[in-house]
Amino acid sequence: MTRQHQIGVICGRLWTICFQHRNGTGLGICTPERMLGICRGRRKFLAASLTVLFVPAITWIYLFAGSFEDGKPVSLSPLESQPHSPRYTASSQRDRESLEVRMREVEEENRALRKQLSLAQSRGPSHHRGNHSKTYSMEEGTGDSESLRAGIVAGNSSECGQQPAVEKCETIHVAIVCAGYNASRDVVTLVKSVLFHRRNPLHFHLIADAIAKQILATLFQTWMVPAVRIDFYDADELKSEVSWIPNKHYSGIYGLMKLVLTKTLPSNLERVIVLDTDITFATDIAELWAVFHKFKGQQVLGLVENQSDWYLGNLWKNHRPWPALGRGYNTGVILLLLDKLRKMKWEQMWRLTAERELMSMLSTSLADQDIFNAVIKQNPFLVYQLPCFWNVQLSDHTRSEQCYRDVSDLKVIHWNSPKKLRVKNKHVEFFRNLYLTFLEYDGNLLRRELFGCPSEADINSENLQKQLSELDEDDLCYEFRRERFTVHRTHLYFLHYEYEPASDNTDVTLVAQLSMDRLQMLEAICKHWEGPISLALYLSDAEAQQFLRYAQGSEVLMSRHNVGYHIVYKEGQFYPVNLLRNVAMKHISTPYMFLSDIDFLPMYGLYEYLRKSVIQLDLANTKKALIVPAFETLRYRLSFPKSKAELLSMLDMGTLFTFRYHVWTKGHAPTNFAKWRTATTPYRVEWEADFEPYVVVRKDCPEYDRRFVGFGWNKVAHIMELDAQEYEFTVLPNAYMIHMPHAPSFDITKFRSNKQYRICLKTLKEEFQQDMSRHYGFAALKYLTAENNS
């Protein structure tokens, strides 16, 4: 009975696996195609097919015939045995235990069979493009080129099991070389794609120049992604290590810095994944990290074969590439075993190779990639060849299509052509959409915790949580108060920025903030103001890309390199107007700034006029706020006045008005427009309640108070603080600015229609005044008195 039961279990398991395949859940060993993957050959295939088809049938006939003793059926299930029957003996108990052991053995055999079948299934038949062309197998991944061929032929049976899993909370180290404004944007998209799929803590090692460090340090500090650590390494200090190598590649000197990572990265760091900035991940980076476990012997570099014919030297007449092993390897994705590389004296190895080859090649064409390949040509044992789906290269005329058969096959996409998204590729539209998905993906959604993995203590995050916990969520003004502590992800210098300081130290930067609905004002402001500009833009990730396309399509904006565009990403329900102003103020490069709004056009020549006024009124040594009188028009088409006389004429005709004369007279009344009409020299005015002029101040003036969001009191509070700090308000007699008409903002609409909004604003005003009294003492009492009398 025991023997019959064992055979029944084995055959039952075999048919179960077949049944699972037909239902889409198994590996499918019962089909001839799958048997072909195991048996390899027509004879073996025939024998396997007969075995699968006839053995179960014969077995069940045997079982059926042998399941009767003395004409009575024999129970195959212990559950059907009768405990009080004479047949239920100690011997039956032992048979049952033996059966359980055998069942476990069968389970193990089935698991091993599944692994072998999985390998056979994934390999499939090879398709060659000629006698010497190499197949891009989906499971390709071996050591040197000899073992590569052996692995394809032999099925690499020693590695048929799944690769070792990465520990749940194991930190994955990623190194990226990044320099400049454009590369900093590319890094963000790369990081988004990695964060989207990741399940492990990440440690980014960024080799960055001063520009990229400033941008990315601020970005990651304000992004506040849990279980992500960032370390920076000064790329400018590494220039001397590679500057002796002539390089024709568009990446410049920074394209050679991956060669010195063994010296640059911490000595206790054993392994790292190195990525180009034009990479997009389509899977969890932990899968790539796990490949390190497959390295054997002296393998220290994990690389994907180059998918173009570059290193074959047949692209054009007299094409002379650097030496490479076959097609060579692409260095957009590299797995580095740093500890072994150091022991092998990698620094000496690549330097000697580069010096030798440069004697004949004179310069590199593909930066570090040429030198890596020259080293591998001499030392093929160093490289572990990664499956090509780990670096699907989308330059023109590549064989990247052989790296994938389905969307699920894609792992890493590499835009390694200077054309980037405009590259020619059969499936470029699909790849482009995948890239754009991460480009426009809301980065705030990536601030998710890794459950079960403790994050390093972050003082900023802890302080933020403490401040938020002190707020009363039942307070009707809770959302207003909470906004004050919201950390908005910030990307500084979104576009290229250049500024040459003025020799006389009198330069002035125009400071403003805007959202997407005011984008049309940028070109006009640039035409009116030739000096430096610092703008904070409140945008979503998708809107930031719309802005980028708008700016790149504008001749006016692209001709101006002294405009700093700082993206503050949307979060929450309020427009953080004063945070935006503070961001724009903080990142100016001049000693003085003109605090304006995006809806105003400055008079022609105001930039030069303000620089002269700074000297005339000794702004460097006195606490002054120079007032630029504000006017407005209700006409969308305005012939802008070119002089004060022309403005006064338009004022008299009713084409222009003093700003907010009809709805908020108190805001600018202290400017004394009647006196300004005839003034020829600067004159001083006193602070009054609700005064909110536009002023020129030194860059060290106090910031705007962040508690005021949306509409109301955001500038009033700032001017009040300037007065409390004893700034002298001086009106400039020959300066002016004009407010252009626009649709009402969402925030002013809420202010007018929402009673609770107005109540909360009033509460915030009172609290601000109390804070002023505590901070400035007796001198600040006048603000309470003035408010009560107004």
Task: Quick: pLDDT tens for 463-487.
Answer: 777 777 777 777 888 788 888 888 9
Q: What is the mean pLDDT of residues 357-374?
A: 91
The pLDDT, as a whole number, for residue 776 is 85
Q: Cα angle vertex 501, ends 497, 503, to 5°?
A: 160
The pLDDT, as a whole number, for residue 554 is 95
- Residue 787: pLDDT band (50, 70, 90) is low
Mean pLDDT of the chain: 81
- Residue 316: pLDDT band (50, 70, 90) is confident
The pLDDT, as a whole number, for residue 107 is 61
Q: Measured between alpha carbons, how far is residue 692 from residues 611, 618, 744 in Å?
A: 22, 23, 19
The pLDDT, as a whole number, for residue 390 is 94
Per DSSP (E only), the strands in 475-607 are 490-491, 508-515, 533-539, 563-569, 592-595, 600-602
> By percentage, how much of the chain surpasses pLDDT 70?
76
Residue in the block written with tokens 């006839």: 54
The pLDDT, as a whole number, for residue 638 is 86
Question: Per-residue pLDDT tens for 385-394?
Answer: 999 899 998 8
Closest CA to 767 of 475, 488, 558: 475
> What is the maximal distance between C-alpha atoms in the chain?
129
- Cross-strand pairs, 510: 533, 594
Cα separation, 738 vs 651, in Å, equals 11
Question: For the chain, what is the total number of helices (H) and then of strands (E)?
Answer: 27, 25
The residue that leads in pLDDT, 171 or 48, is: 171
Please say if the pLDDT value at position 19 is more than 80: no
Please say if the pLDDT value at position 328 is more than 80: yes
Contact 401, 362 (CB under 8 A): no
The residue that leads in pLDDT, 88 or 497, is: 497
Please say if the pLDDT value at position 530 is more than 70: yes
The pLDDT, as a whole number, for residue 137 is 38
Question: Per-residue pLDDT tens for 278-309?
Answer: 999 999 999 999 999 999 999 999 999 998 88
- Residue 489: pLDDT band (50, 70, 90) is very high
Contact 277, 187 (CB under 8 A): yes
The pLDDT, as a whole number, for residue 123 is 46
- Burial readout 333-356 (b: 16 or more C-beta within 10 A, e: otherwise): bbbbbbebbeebebeeebbebbee
The pLDDT, as a whole number, for residue 97 is 60
The pLDDT, as a whole number, for residue 70 is 44
* Phi, then psi, of 691 in degrees rounded to 5: -70, 130
> Is the full-model pTM beyond 0.85?
no
User: For 56-65, 331-340, 666-675, 684-693, which range has the lowest pLDDT when averaged over its residues?
Assistant: 56-65
Question: Per-residue pLDDT tens for 156-165?
Answer: 333 444 545 7
Q: Which long-range contacts (CB under 8 A, 24 or more apart) does 236-242 make?
A: 236/209, 236/210, 238/207, 238/264
Cα separation, 706 vs 687, in Å, equals 22
Q: What is the mean pLDDT of residues 453-466?
A: 74
SS3 state at 82 = coil
Q: Measured between alpha carbons, how far is residue 143 from residues 183, 293, 323, 338 in Å?
A: 33, 12, 19, 17
The pLDDT, as a whole number, for residue 666 is 87
Closest CA to 254 of 368, 140, 415, 369: 368
The pLDDT, as a whole number, for residue 55 is 43
Contact 676, 629 (CB under 8 A): yes
* Phi, then psi, of 751 in degrees rounded to 5: -60, -40
Q: What is the DSSP letter of 689?
A: T
Please say if the pLDDT value at position 91 is more than 60: no
Contact 724, 702 (CB under 8 A): no
Contact 564, 537 (CB under 8 A): no
Token code pair at residue 316: 């054009």
The pLDDT, as a whole number, for residue 109 is 62
CA 567 from centroid of its chain's CA atoms: 14
Residues ≥6 apart with Cβ < 8 Å to 148:
140, 142, 385
Cα separation, 302 vs 372, in Å, equals 11
What is the dihedral sign for C-alpha 628, 631, 632, 636? negative
The pLDDT, as a whole number, for residue 237 is 94
Residue in the block written with tokens 């916990």: 469
Cα separation, 615 vs 303, in Å, equals 61
Q: Which helix (H) or strand (E) holds 229?
A: strand 228-234
What is the dihedral sign for C-alpha 513, 518, 523, 524? negative
The pLDDT, as a whole number, for residue 39 is 40
Which of the given ranges, 24-33, 106-115, 269-278, 770-779, has the highest pLDDT on average?
269-278
User: For 64-73, 83-92, 145-154, which range has the lowest pLDDT when averaged over its residues?
Assistant: 145-154
User: For 205-209, 272-276, 665-669, which range has the lowest pLDDT when averaged over its residues?
Assistant: 665-669
Residues ≥6 apart with Cβ < 8 Å to 342:
262, 267
By CB neighbour count within 10 A (0-12 exposed, 13-18 middle, 19+ buried), where does 396 fall?
exposed
Q: What is the mean pLDDT of residues 672-698?
A: 95
Q: What is the mean pLDDT of residues 154-177?
A: 69
Rg of the chain (C-alpha set): 36
Q: What is the mean pLDDT of residues 74-92?
A: 42
- Residue 85: pLDDT band (50, 70, 90) is very low
Please say if the pLDDT value at position 63 is more than 80: no
The pLDDT, as a whole number, for residue 592 is 97
User: For 286-290, 365-369, 606-610, which range has the lowest pLDDT when averaged over its residues?
Assistant: 365-369
Q: What is the DSSP letter of 247?
A: B
- Cross-strand pairs, 337: 271
Question: Per-residue pLDDT tens for 398-419?
Answer: 777 777 777 677 899 988 766 6
User: For 83-97, 242-256, 324-338, 440-454, which range has the lowest pLDDT when averaged over its residues?
Assistant: 83-97
Cα separation, 388 vs 411, in Å, equals 9
The pLDDT, as a whole number, for residue 354 is 93
> By percentage, how much of the chain surpasses pLDDT 90?
52
The pLDDT, as a whole number, for residue 78 is 36
The pLDDT, as a whole number, for residue 559 is 94
Token code pair at residue 708: 């005021």
Helices (H), 89-209: 90-123, 145-154, 181-197
Cβ count within 10 A of residue 321: 19
